[in-house]
Amino acid sequence: MGRRVLLIEDEPNIIEAISFILSKDGWTVHTHADGETAVDRVRDGAPDLVILDVMLPGRSGFDILRDLREGAEAAADLPILMLTARGQQRDRDMAEQLGATRFMTKPFSNSEVLETVRALAAP
């Protein structure tokens, strides 16, 4: 059993792409498409890394990030990779301010994503 990544994303094709890349590298990928229940899912699933989209149904990825960093039982050390189609500077700043471990924009290069995941989830 490899290390576990939780992918919070709502676009089916992107889910499939990332799942494929990471699985091939030996990760166990769990996916979750709903913003509203995402925080609970992270708590319950205790993944080694979270890949988080911003434009999610129900709740914004930024809000989820804030909860994960500042809420009760905050997962302060959990590596979180923000992966979003919103690539403006202010989105980047926002993510940094809220405590994202890394910020990447879509479209992404597969190898970059893979390297980042490997780097962040290093034991």
Partner 1 sequence: MISFNLLIAVSLGYVAFLFLVAFAAERRARRDRGQWLRNPLVYTLSLSIYCTAWTFYGAVGYAARSGFEYLTIYLGPTIVMIGWWWILRKLVRIGKTQRITSVADLISSRFGKSTALGVLVTLLAVAGTTPYIALQLQSVTQSLAVFAAQPGSGWDAGEFEGAAIWIAVGLALFTLIFGTRNLDVNERHHGVVMAIAVEAVVKLFALIAVGVFVVWGMAGGVSEMLARIDASAIADWQPVPHRWVGLIFLSGAALLTLPRMFQVMVVENADEKHLATASWAFPLYVLAMSLFVVPIAVTGLNLLPDAANPDLFVLTIPLATGNESLAILSFLGGFSSATSMVIVATIALATMVSNHIIAPIWLSSTQTGAALSGDVRGVIVMSRRISIAVILALGYLYFRLSGGGAALASIGLISFAGVVQVLPAMIAGIFWRGANRIGAGTGIVIGFAIWAWTLFLPSFGAGAVLSEAVMAEGPFGWGWLQPYGLFGITGLDPVVHTVFWSMFFNTGALVTLSVLTFPNPIERLQGAQFVNVFENSAGARTWAQSAARAEDLLIMAQRIIGHAEAQAMFRQEARAQGIDGYLPEVTPDLIGRLERMLAGSVGAATAHAMVGQLTGSAAVSVEDLIAVADETAQIVEYSNRLEAKSAEQERTARALREANEKLTAISIQKDAFLSQVSHELRTPMTSIRSFSEILREGEIDAEARARFAGIIHQESTRLTRLLDDLLDLSYLENGQVQLDLGRGSLADVLDRAVMAAGVPGDRLALRRDSASERVQIETDLERLTQVFINLITNAAKYCDADRPELVIRARAGAETCEVDFIDNGTPLDAEAQVLIFEKFSRLADEGKAGGAGLGLAICRQIMESLGGGISYLPGQGGPAFRVTLRHRARMAAQ
Residues that bind partner 1 (CB under 8 A): 10-14, 16-18, 20-21, 55, 57-58, 85-88, 105-111
| Dihedral sign computed on CA atoms, order 105, 15, 9, 98 | negative
Please state the closest distance from residue 37 (CB atom) to partner 1, in A: 13
> Which residue number, 21 or 75, has a Cβ lying nearer to partner 1?
21
> Which residue number, 17 or 75, has a Cβ lying nearer to partner 1?
17
Strand partners, 102: 81
> Which residue number, 99 or 108, has a Cβ lying nearer to partner 1?
108
Beta strands in 33-94 (DSSP E): 49-52, 80-84
Chain-centre distance for alpha carbon 107 = 15
> Which residue number, 107 or 123, has a Cβ lying nearer to partner 1?
107
Please state the closest distance from residue 88 (CB atom) to partner 1, in A: 7
Q: Residues near 76 by Cβ (< 8 Å), separated by ≥ 6?
A: 69, 99
Amino acid at 29: V
Please state the closest distance from residue 73 (CB atom) to partner 1, in A: 28
